[in-house]
Amino acid sequence: MNRANDPSRKSWVFVPNNSDFSIQNLPFGIFSEGLGGKRVGVAIGNQILDLSAVEKLGLLKNSGFHQSDFAAATLNQMMGKGKSLLCELRNKISDLLLEGSDIANKADIILIDQRNASMHLPIKIGDYTDFYSSEQHAYNVGCMFRDPNNALLPNWKHIPVGYHGRASSVINSGTPVHRPKGQQKPTDNDPPVFGPCKLLDFELEMGFITLEGKPLGDSISTAEANEYIFGMCLFNDWSARDIQKWEYIPLGPFLAKNFASSMSPWIVTLDALEPFRVPGPVQDPKVLPYLDYDGDHHIDINLQVAIQPEGSTESIVCNSNYKHMYWNMQQQLAHHTVNGCDIHAGDLLASGTISGPEEGQFGSMLEISWKGTKPFAMQDGSERKFIQDLDTVIMRGHAEKDGIRVGFGEVSTKILPTK
């Protein structure tokens, strides 16, 4: 039983109103403080519960976890214990933080103020796959580059389209990115040129982190998929639109995507998101049997993107929701493995750009400015068609129901000039 989701639970740790990190959340991350080493923490309110310190006090006896699992620079070793033990670990942590717990007097030993901690990339990412699973986004792009009658390519509603991305350049929130450079072809009749990207864009996405999968040659079904998903994060899959336009035929994105992708530092477990599941769209035409699924597997997560010019106030450019996805995580994982591809603990699978059906819900500047034809008016009086140097892009996300909020914090990245 997932007792940590009980909405009546309250913590002895102070949790401010509208905090992303309620006792019903308890996301995992990697932090350090001062000269101390990296280790596993759990966010609660404005604090971090130091699991290494908790284990040293003997508060996690018989949990199946040991000091080495928490005194680690990534979550991978902890995740290697599997879904059942991870679920019960979250329950035990919830019990320790529950109002009335007798460990409240050890707060100075086991709690770290988030303001005094540095957050790190939480996962050693083995492989990274990016999907293209928002129908509105695919339709918008198709309208811009083809026409509304042929916006979706023939395969789009039959398979969760994806490509293999670059794991080495996935970076933690707060890590700045230099504007990429590469070949571009400004006009059809002129030869290509080389230089800094002129059409730099964000892509509002969410990622999910896998647990250890089946052996090479075996598949994971949609019914089994939840057992192989640890949790989710916010994900900004940066895109150099002008570089991509020239290079993507015939093999798809390369330099336009591999320079950086930014992820949030807290991994919200799939268990914590269970109360926010909602029905997905009717999939027409009917999917093939291996992509069929039972139950509600879409998740209602409010998403927001802001752009903050240097020295100025931020402007909200997008309010979207993860529930707008056409293909869900279970279908994505089933498709990814149906040919026998193996997955491992710490693999990252991203949703693709998430766009809602209305203006104001589009998850990229390509759509917001409609390929640069509709500049976005910023709070400071400037305009944006795409991302400029020294802009900081901030993505936030949370699920909320019946007064319970489960959030992701934010992923924030500043764009620096080209090296």
- The CATH number linked to 113 is 2.30.30.230
Residue 82 φ/ψ, nearest 5 degrees: 95, 165
Mean pLDDT in residue range 266-279: 98
Q: Are residues 176 and 239 in the same domain?
A: yes
Provide the pLDDT confidence category of residue 31 given band limits of 50, 70 and 90: very high
Q: Which of 120, 153, 187 delimits the end of a domain?
A: 120
Mean pLDDT in residue range 20-26: 98
Q: Are residues 165 and 37 in the same domain?
A: no
Give the torsion through C-alpha atoms of 163, 167, 168, 169, to 10 deg: 70
What integer best gives the mean pLDDT of the chain? 97
How far is Cα of residue 266 from the mean position of the Cα atoms in its chain?
A: 9
Q: Are residues 199 and 75 in the same domain?
A: no
Q: Which of 66, 120, 137, 335 is catalytic?
A: 137
Q: Are residues 190 and 306 in the same domain?
A: yes
Q: Which of 73, 102, 120 delimits the end of a domain?
A: 120
| Residue 1 reports pLDDT greater than 90 | no
Q: Which domain holds residue 62?
A: 3-120
Q: Are residues 28 and 61 in the same domain?
A: yes
| Residue 382 reports pLDDT greater than 70 | yes
| Residue 35 reports pLDDT greater than 90 | no
Mean pLDDT in residue range 174-199: 96
Total domains in the chain come to: 2
* Nearest-angstrom CA–CA distance, 236 and 408: 13
Q: Are residues 140 and 42 in the same domain?
A: no
Q: Are residues 53 and 187 in the same domain?
A: no
85 against 186, higher pLDDT: 85
Q: Are residues 166 and 65 in the same domain?
A: no
| pLDDT at residue 36 in the model | 87
Q: Are residues 102 and 135 in the same domain?
A: no
Q: Are residues 100 and 139 in the same domain?
A: no
- Report pLDDT digits (tens) over 89-127: 999 999 999 999 989 999 999 999 999 999 999 999 999
DSSP conformational letter for 190: S
Q: Are residues 231 and 322 in the same domain?
A: yes
- The CATH number linked to 269 is 3.90.850.10
Q: Are residues 158 and 23 in the same domain?
A: no
| pLDDT at residue 6 in the model | 96
Q: What is the residue whose two structure tokens read 């490509």? A: 163
Indicate if the alpha-carbon torsion angle 136, 141, 145, 151 is positive or negative: negative
| pLDDT at residue 296 in the model | 97
- Report pLDDT digits (tens) over 142-164: 999 998 999 999 999 999 999 99
Which of 201-205, 252-256, 340-344 shows the lowest mean pLDDT across its residues? Answer: 252-256
The pLDDT > 90 percentage for the chain reads 96
Q: Does residue 398 carry a catalytic annotation?
A: no
Residue 113: HSE in the Cβ half-sphere, 13 Å Cα cutoff: 3
* Nearest-angstrom CA–CA distance, 25 and 40: 16
| pLDDT at residue 318 in the model | 98
Q: Which of 95, 120, 145 delimits the end of a domain?
A: 120
| pLDDT at residue 311 in the model | 96
